[in-house]
Amino acid sequence: MMRHRQFLPVLMILIFCVPSAQASVDSYRFVHVTIETPWYIFLFLLIGVLSPFVLMAFLMWRSLINKSDQEDKDSDHSSSVE
């Protein structure tokens, strides 16, 4: 039981002692900001903001088609009964 409790601190110490792990913690070294970066951010957010509206329009369109189909079936059924 004690082996499991001692394993985590030893593992943490080993991770922080490895030079490549320390380099990966310093993530600013690997961030490349160019003139196109704001456009990438804009396009990413544009997709995230507009996709719910596209989905909403599609679902409304589909429900209108289903409703009109249901009304057509109901009107066909009522005309055949008379």
14 and 37 together in one domain: no
Which residues lie closer than 8 Å to 23 by C-beta, 6 or more apart? Answer: 29
2 and 39 together in one domain: no
39 and 76 together in one domain: yes
Which residues lie closer than 8 Å to 15 by C-beta, 6 or more apart? Answer: 21
21 and 36 together in one domain: no
5 and 25 together in one domain: yes
Q: What is the pLDDT of residue 30?
A: 62
Tell me the residue range of the domain where 65 lies.
Answer: 32-82
Q: What is the mean pLDDT of residues 33-52?
A: 90
58 and 19 together in one domain: no
What is the domain count for the chain?
Answer: 2
Would the pLDDT of 52 be above 90?
yes
Would the pLDDT of 9 be above 70?
yes
Q: What is the pLDDT of residue 23?
A: 56
Compute the distance between CA of residue 18 and CA of residue 24 in angstroms, rounded to an integer.
10
Q: What is the pLDDT of residue 42?
A: 92
82 and 50 together in one domain: yes
pTM for the model: 0.47
